[in-house]
Structure 1
Amino acid sequence: MSYTVAAAVAVLAVLVIDLFVTRTRLVCTLRWWLSYAIIAAFQLLTNGWLTGRSIVTYRPDAILGGGAVRFIGDWRLAYAPVEDLGFGFALVLLTLIVWSRVGGRERR
């Protein structure tokens, strides 16, 4: 499975969990999108540092675009492949879904 396919599956799976399984519907709120914008900015800074300096590398055949490390373009944003944003989205959303569900049970 390529990194691209794994990222797409992760995003779709977490959206299904949010909207249909737990029905937390975080992605339907402005609070989620404002929070995610802040997180994504720091994710791009971190990923950009790691991939721009070749501390972390990706197999060119496993990601969209090629193997050239560019600041922007060729399916890269701040040096990192766009798939990293998908994984970040899925990880943060799943964490907040669980946090919402567990926190809700503790209040009851």
Structure 2
Amino acid sequence: MLDSEPFLGVGEYTLLTVLAVVAVVVLELAWLRTGVFRTAQYWITMAIVFAFQVAVDGWLTKLDNPIVIYNERQMTGLRLPWDIPVEDFGFGFAMVTFAILLWRHRLDQGSSAPESTAARRSRQTVPRGRPRSTPFPEPTAPEQPAPKPEEARTRP
């Protein structure tokens, strides 16, 4: 949709940005529930991301000599600061937040995650009761040398 008409009076870039932001927020609040929105760490991270986004995006989208040119019909036209389309901030929020949510969710699964099929299979026994071999067997203690047989005692 390179030069399509706005959908319901809303530009494609604006619509997709709003959908991405809503989807990420709903993903966190309704399903993942990692709690990142309640941490100062997350908001400090986002402030750092937005600071770099302003510097880079401002340079790329400046109206007097743009490197990236947007189709004005596909966005709101609201640009701040330094001619940055407001949709870029929503898209950046959604993209970075999505990555953080997936990472945090994966870390949180660590010890409470259900056991994988491969892990269950490695514990199962084969017929005759022998344990299955695993790609990384647990280390065993080195074998102790066998005791030397006592020399036969002779009776005097």
| Coarse TM-score class (shorter-chain normalised) | 0.7 to 0.9
Matched, 1:43 2:40: no
Counterparts of 1:86 and 1:35, CA distance in 2: 15
Counterparts of 1:83 and 1:25, CA distance in 2: 25
* 2:90 match: 86
Counterparts of 1:25 and 1:78, CA distance in 2: 33
RMSD: 1.4
Q: Secondary structure at the match of 2:34?
A: coil
What percent of counterpart residues are identical?
36
Within 5 Å, give how 1:1-108 maps onto structure 2: 2-52=12-62, 53-65=65-77, 74-105=78-109, 107-108=110-111
One-letter amino acid of the counterpart of residue 67, structure 2: I
Give every structure 1 segment of 4 or more consecutive aligned residues whose post-TM-superposition deviation is greater than 6 Å. Answer: none
One-letter amino acid of the counterpart of residue 79, structure 1: D
TM norm structure 2: 0.59
Q: Secondary structure at the match of 2:70?
A: coil
The structure with more strand, counted as a fraction of residues: 1
The structure with more helix, counted as a fraction of residues: 1
Counterparts of 1:76 and 1:38, CA distance in 2: 17
Give the length in aligned residue pairs: 99
Counterparts of 1:94 and 1:77, CA distance in 2: 24
**Shift in Å, 1:11:** 0.4
Counterparts of 1:75 and 1:49, CA distance in 2: 13
Give the gaps of 5 or more residues in structure 1. Answer: 66-73
